[in-house]
Structure 1
Amino acid sequence: MLLPALAAKIVEEVKKVIVEDVIVVTPEGTIIASTDDSRVGDFHEGAKIASGEKRTVIISKKDEQTLAGVKAGINLPVFFKGEVAGVIGITGIPDEISPFGEVIRKMTELLVNESYYTEQLNWEARTREAFVFDWIQLKEWTSAFTNRARLLNIDLTMQRLAAIAVIPDESLHYKGISSVIQTWQNSHPEDLFVQWGNNRIVMVFHSGDTAYAKGRIQSFHQFLEEEFRTHVLIGAGKSVRPSRLSDSYMQAERAIQSNSTHDARIVFDEDLTIEMLLNEISLKTKEEYIERTISPLLTEADLFTTLSVLFEKNHSLKKTAEALPIHINTLHYRMKKIEELTGLNPSRLNDALILYLAVMLLDKQPK
């Protein structure tokens, strides 16, 4: 049976084709959408006859006196999978509007089919999302979980690799992201792709061949950037047994969080080094470390920027001065001021390491 939201959409689409009044009616004869809002909820006897007898019913002016809730025009049953899903009625002189009737019926049936298959795709996407969420969260698989995997045709025996894509533009419409996911999912059924919140996609790749899995990640990354026309960040975990997918997912999260220290837009957890340590440090410890080291620089924008660029340029004074851009003597002056305020000399290896860690920790602080 047609639902009111779809019925309203049908009315809007038909209005683009004809100027006559249009109604959409349930098989039981209740008007659920109309160009005349006052008719919504009324009983329409002509539509009920059209539905019950599965045929077009023409309503004359004379019929208006004997049939409940009708106006002169035609009523056409709309079929879905061989059954009447509803009736569309067009008000007017029957001889004048009849030529449009079959066209309007076909157009309406196309809309009904499109709505059905869209809803099916949405249901499948939501089912996959729920399954992947449970796959990551469950400590032990239940029989219900393995049965769902079987129904979704998901192989729980092969090695898997989890990855997370972050799309920076959160204004992208949910449907836009989901349609892109569906396009890729259809051509890569052995993998899983689900939307995670407003701007994330979680991917579960078949990773029996790790090099091949990495290649698919790179291909998907290119596909996303071409579709959304924006930079997309992907963090990828390591290949694991399917029962340990949560480990790979957490590694992908760590790779995402560690991106501030990488220029690449795809970060593999196995490539992380110092970031592994930084992510294990508690927020309280980070705050205390920053307070003991670079806190005096947080109100000195020029000095803090100078220190950050110095590290970005691998401690090259020439490249740092050019990037800022300032005279080399100004750079020496600022480095001296940094030492005076922090007690740490950026030119000494030990002090430089302490300052570098502080800058990295600050960059990872919640904004």
Structure 2
Amino acid sequence: MLTREIAQEIVFETMSRLHRNVNMMDGNGVIVASGDSTRVDTLHEAAVEVIRTGQPVIIGKDDRHRWKGAEPGVNLPIVFHQQTVGVVGITGTPEDLLPFAELVKMTTEMMIKQSYFKLQSEWRQITKDMIIQELIKPAPSDREGIQHRLDALGTDFKPPYQVAVILFPNRSSHTQELLERLEASLGTVHTISSFQHVNQLTVIFFGESEERIRSKIIRITEDYRNKAVASVAGLSSLVASIGQITHAYREAEVALRFAVKSGQAFTSYLAIETQALLYEIPADRRARFVDRLLPKVSPKMLMTLRAFFECNLNIARTAERLGIHRNTLIYRLAQIKEATGCDPQTFEEAVTLQWLVWLGGGKHRLQQGGQPRRTNFDASMPFMDRI
């Protein structure tokens, strides 16, 4: 536990405050860090005695000959998890050192403890990274390895499972800071999380209801926003087995893609599932559908259809939203029926027109000479193919 790097840091920090030489000895009594570089890698016999007995060894001027490799000063045991893991030695007159020697010992033990917890935290995060990386593969293969790592974390990884993907488009915060905020808001009992891309955080929820998970995701995006951290989240549907987590991950990415496109902070896959399923149709088949109908409608017709569908085919609400008379709206709907052969007021034909709005809206703007929507997200999203 007492590495040379930690020992050197302790020596530097302590000497900068005490202005006295400090030695750090490992569990064998060998000096591993010192203000006097010539003493590094030499045996300190007084440290060996401290490790053997667990008691301090004080060396005065007249005691130097008893301890090979020692100078006058105070040598104290460094205890971690009830074991002596090393020795800290402060060079000087013992009478001058005793008033603050115990404080040096306590500070040294605290620094070792902090280093240990940091290493533990890093190990846990690396383990989570490996688990999630395997789970989201198109065909997870190392099921035994996944379970072994989950057991090492002490995680009861029980179904159902749900995946969220959170994008930080203008990321300025450190990875650890973002993860700490997430864990402080969501807890760690029912989640594991990992940055699988430089600015994209993957969170796997387990053993919780869909309603509770949804509220948690909304809460964390609000929490990030309150901390002036821009974020966008996509959430999958629930899945029942570990093998289905890869599919949930794809759903979360699709939901995130739609959230970015629509300018929303959060989108659930279930809310856009019908739209998303359209993109399972081969691209050439979608293109033929759009190319057949799109030239028949004007931008005003598309705008009218979009408002009409968003108002659930309600004439009065649509007219109010568009700021037109209901008779004007009815006339426009009749024009759309004449132009496309599809009646917006009948269910089956309205579905066809809804597909046109979803698939052809952006393309129509470009054909009419408009500019595509600029977004900070596109370049930073590895999966951000056009939809």
What is the TM-score when the length of structure 2 is the normalising length? Answer: 0.68
CA-CA distance at 1:170 after TM superposition: 3.6
Tell me, in whole angstroms, the C-alpha distance in 2 between the residues paired with 1:126 and 1:172: 19
Tell me, in whole angstroms, the C-alpha distance in 2 between the residues paired with 1:143 and 1:246: 17
Whether 2:38 is the aligned partner of 1:29: answer no
The letter of the residue matching 1:164 is: V
Asked whether the 8 Å contact 2:170–2:230 carries over to 1, the reply is: no
Match of 2:225 in 1: 225
- Secondary structure of 1:62 counterpart: helix
RMSD over aligned Cα atoms: 3.6
The letter of the residue matching 1:196 is: Q
- Secondary structure of 1:162 counterpart: strand
The letter of the residue matching 1:230 is: V
Match of 1:55 in 2: 55
Asked whether the 8 Å contact 2:190–2:208 carries over to 1, the reply is: no
Unaligned runs of 5+ in 2: 291-298, 308-356, 381-387
Alignment of 1:62-101 (within 5 A): 62-101=62-101
Asked whether the 8 Å contact 1:207–1:239 carries over to 2, the reply is: no
- Secondary structure of 2:173 counterpart: coil
Match of 2:233 in 1: 234
Match of 2:180 in 1: 179
Q: Once the two structures are superposed, what CA deviation does each residue of 1:309-355 show, in whole Å capped at 9, x if it has no partner?
A: x98xx89xxxxxxxxxxxxxxxxxxxxxxxxxxxxxxxxx9997643
Asked whether the 8 Å contact 1:164–1:202 carries over to 2, the reply is: yes
- Secondary structure of 1:356 counterpart: helix
Asked whether the 8 Å contact 1:27–1:52 carries over to 2, the reply is: no
The letter of the residue matching 1:226 is: N
CA-CA distance at 1:39 after TM superposition: 2.9
Share of identical aligned residues, percent?
21
Q: Give the alignment partner of residue 355 of structure 1, picking from 359, 364, 368.
A: 364
CA 1:354–1:201: 2 relative to 1, 3 Å = closer
Alignment of 1:158-307 (within 5 A): 158-184=159-185, 187-206=187-206, 209-227=209-227, 229-242=228-241, 243-272=243-272, 274=275, 277=278
Tell me, in whole angstroms, the C-alpha distance in 2 between the residues paired with 1:166 and 1:48: 54
Query: 270-279 or 238-247: which moved more?
Result: 270-279
Tell me, in whole angstroms, the C-alpha distance in 1 between the residues paired with 2:362 and 2:232: 28
CA 1:353–1:13: 2 relative to 1, 3 Å = closer
Match of 1:301 in 2: none
Match of 2:314 in 1: none
Asked whether the 8 Å contact 2:182–2:220 carries over to 1, the reply is: no
CA 1:260–1:125: 2 relative to 1, 3 Å = closer
The letter of the residue matching 2:180 is: S
Asked whether the 8 Å contact 1:165–1:202 carries over to 2, the reply is: yes
Asked whether the 8 Å contact 2:157–2:207 carries over to 1, the reply is: no
Asked whether the 8 Å contact 2:232–2:260 carries over to 1, the reply is: no
Asked whether the 8 Å contact 2:165–2:235 carries over to 1, the reply is: yes
Tell me, in whole angstroms, the C-alpha distance in 1 between the residues paired with 2:53 and 2:362: 84
Tell me, in whole angstroms, the C-alpha distance in 2 between the residues paired with 1:231 and 1:353: 25
The letter of the residue matching 1:356 is: R
The letter of the residue matching 1:261 is: K
Tell me, in whole angstroms, the C-alpha distance in 1 between the residues paired with 2:99 and 2:239: 63
Asked whether the 8 Å contact 1:161–1:205 carries over to 2, the reply is: yes
What is the TM-score when the length of structure 1 is the normalising length? Answer: 0.71
Q: Once the two structures are superposed, what CA deviation does each residue of 1:17-52 show, in whole Å capped at 9, x if it has no partner?
A: 412111111121222222333332232222222222
CA-CA distance at 1:74 after TM superposition: 0.8
Q: Once the two structures are superposed, what CA deviation does each residue of 1:41-93 show, in whole Å capped at 9, x if it has no partner?
A: 23222222222221111122334445332221111110112211111011111
Tell me, in whole angstroms, the C-alpha distance in 1 between the residues paired with 2:379 and 2:188: 36
Query: 354-363 or 7-16: which moved more?
Result: 354-363
Query: 76-85 or 197-206: which moved more?
Result: 197-206
Tell me, in whole angstroms, the C-alpha distance in 1 between the residues paired with 2:378 and 2:188: 37
Tell me, in whole angstroms, the C-alpha distance in 1 between the residues paired with 2:31 and 2:279: 63
CA 1:67–1:141: 2 relative to 1, 3 Å = closer
CA 1:210–1:279: 2 relative to 1, 3 Å = same
CA 1:124–1:62: 2 relative to 1, 3 Å = same
CA 1:96–1:352: 2 relative to 1, 3 Å = closer
Asked whether the 8 Å contact 1:166–1:199 carries over to 2, the reply is: yes
Asked whether the 8 Å contact 2:162–2:204 carries over to 1, the reply is: yes
CA 1:280–1:69: 2 relative to 1, 3 Å = farther
Q: Once the two structures are superposed, what CA deviation does each residue of 1:132-191 show, in whole Å capped at 9, x if it has no partner?
A: 222222446734434544454444542211001122344422332343344346x34122
Tell me, in whole angstroms, the C-alpha distance in 2 between the residues paired with 1:365 and 1:352: 18
Alignment of 1:4-153 (within 5 A): 4-137=4-137, 138-139=139-140, 142-153=143-154
Tell me, in whole angstroms, the C-alpha distance in 1 between the residues paired with 2:236 and 2:162: 6
Q: Once the two structures are superposed, what CA deviation does each residue of 1:272-295 show, in whole Å capped at 9, x if it has no partner?
A: 355665697779x99xx9xxxxxx
Q: Once the two structures are superposed, what CA deviation does each residue of 1:90-139 show, in whole Å capped at 9, x if it has no partner?
A: 11111001111111111111222222222222222222221222222244
CA 1:245–1:53: 2 relative to 1, 3 Å = same
Q: Size of the alignment, in residue pairs? A: 309
The letter of the residue matching 2:176 is: K
Asked whether the 8 Å contact 1:207–1:213 carries over to 2, the reply is: no
Tell me, in whole angstroms, the C-alpha distance in 2 between the residues paired with 1:31 and 1:281: 68
CA 1:356–1:171: 2 relative to 1, 3 Å = same
CA 1:64–1:168: 2 relative to 1, 3 Å = farther
